[in-house]
């Protein structure tokens, strides 16, 4: 692992799924590789957003990165729109990607069915995501399981460009996705056959990283399970219980087997899940509050943008040049 890039959309209410599926790995990887963690505000615009809210959520997303344990002196934290190479490379990726490829993206099918307004950007978003990743000569991309298909597309575009030019014009990145039992796909508390999602309008389906302990306890108490009473890992037959087991396991370090052997009913099990989540999130929430002091996160983003720009501009020029764009003299 040499270079890591990943991003999260500044939609309000970062979830426990975002944390367990992706952000936890960001924290781990920062000490193993050069890391770029982006707040992908351009992606957030694919679904219409209130401007003031988007600005606030962008700052908050960056605060949560730092609060979760990403050290801005070790990894680069920045806002996507601060580095114009992303938008420029995004276009170059759109013209390197086929309409049919984008049509096959299941996230577009899901999101376009759910949203009233379907923007062109929602459709072409995977090309911008490819740009984000390829701009840093990224070797590994830590994401949740739902991003597998988009990452596969990034790889296809990269391989196609390299074949066309007969050299390693761009680095073909590898996915870094935890298996399901290690958090790759945390499920909704209300419909455990669906992934937990920031944009889920059902509040009780999602644990947000900034939820208060009481809210967390209430949501887990009401989480959908099944009519049995056996705590057993079986994502097919017992999706609700299995999901809570994964959450408990990741928040405490206990294995799924240990957890299964420990409970005879759901009451105490759910209580323990709730306490484990509260204990995991409390220190992050404390640090988040400290980072709300004016100017602190702004400075981190400023430094991050300069670092990101320095690395991505030469890569953008390399691709522009290969595709035949005339350099300015």
Catalytic entry in 198, 218, 221, 303 = 198
Is 303 a catalytic site residue?
no
Catalytic entry in 34, 195, 219, 270 = 195
Which residues, at least 6 apart from 57, have a Cβ–Cβ distance to it below 8 Å? 10, 11, 12, 44
Could you report how far apart the first and last alpha carbons of the chain are, in Å? 37
Q: Using CB under 6 A, list all residues that contact ligand ATP.
A: 8-9, 11, 15, 17-18, 21-22, 143-144, 146-147, 184-186, 195-199
Task: Using alpha carbons, list the distances in angstroms from residue 187 to 54, 57, 312.
Answer: 26, 23, 35
User: Can you read off the two tokens belonging to residue 301?
Assistant: 């983003």
Nearest to 226 by CA among 236, 214, 239: 239
Question: Of 186 and 316, which CB lies nearer to ligand ATP in the complex structure?
Answer: 186
Question: CA-based angle 71:77:80, to the nearest 5?
Answer: 170
Catalytic entry in 34, 111, 219, 270 = 111
Question: Of 12 and 162, which CB lies nearer to ligand ATP in the complex structure?
Answer: 12
Is 270 a catalytic site residue?
no
Q: Give the shortest CB-192-to-ligand ATP separation in angstroms.
A: 11
Task: Using alpha carbons, list the distances in angstroms from residue 127 to 21, 114, 214.
Answer: 22, 21, 41
168: number of CA atoms within 13 Å, CB side?
6
Q: Give the shortest CB-47-to-ligand ATP separation in angstroms.
A: 8
Question: Of 250 and 319, which CB lies nearer to ligand ATP in the complex structure?
Answer: 250
Is 195 a catalytic site residue?
yes
Q: Give the shortest CB-306-to-ligand ATP separation in angstroms.
A: 24
Q: Give the shortest CB-119-to-ligand ATP separation in angstroms.
A: 14
Question: Of 182 and 322, which CB lies nearer to ligand ATP in the complex structure?
Answer: 182
Give catalytic residues, as residue numbers: 111, 195, 198
């Amino acid at each position: 692992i040499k270079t890591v890039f990943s991003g999260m959309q500044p939609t309000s209410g970062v979830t426990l799924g975002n944390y367990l599926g992706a952000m936890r790995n960001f924290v781990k990887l920062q000490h193993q590789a050069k890391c770029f963690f982006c707040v992908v505000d351009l992606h957030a615009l694919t679904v219409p957003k209130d401007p003031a809210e988007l600005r606030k959520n962008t700052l908050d997303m960056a605060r949560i990165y730092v609060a979760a344990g990403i050290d801005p002196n070790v990894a680069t934290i920045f806002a996507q729109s601060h580095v114009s190479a992303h938008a420029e490379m995004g276009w170059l990726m759109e013209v390197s990607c086929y309409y049919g490829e984008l049509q096959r993206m299941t996230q577009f099918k899901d999101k376009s069915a759910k949203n009233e307004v379907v923007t062109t950007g929602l459709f072409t978003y995977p090309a911008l995501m490819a740009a984000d990743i390829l701009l840093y000569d990224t070797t590994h991309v830590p994401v949740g399981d739902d991003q597998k298909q988009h990452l596969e597309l990034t790889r296809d575009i990269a391989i196609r460009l390299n074949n066309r030019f007969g050299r390693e014009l761009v680095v073909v990145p590898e996915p870094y996705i935890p298996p399901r039992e290690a958090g790759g796909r945390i499920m909704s508390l209300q419909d455990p056959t669906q992934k937990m999602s920031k944009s889920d309008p059902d509040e009780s389906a999602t644990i947000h990283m900034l939820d208060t302990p009481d809210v967390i306890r209430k949501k887990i108490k009401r989480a959908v399970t099944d009519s049995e009473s056996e705590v057993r890992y079986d994502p097919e037959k017992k999706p609700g219980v299995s999901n809570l087991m994964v959450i408990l396991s990741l928040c405490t370090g206990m294995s799924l087997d240990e957890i299964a052997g420990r409970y005879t009913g759901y009451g105490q099990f759910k209580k323990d899940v709730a306490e484990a989540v509260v204990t995991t999130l409390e220190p992050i929430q404390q640090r988040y509050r400290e980072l709300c002091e004016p100017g602190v996160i702004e400075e981190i983003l400023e430094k991050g943008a300069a670092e990101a720009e320095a690395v991505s501009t030469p890569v953008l020029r390399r691709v522009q040049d290969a595709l035949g764009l005339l350099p300015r003299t």
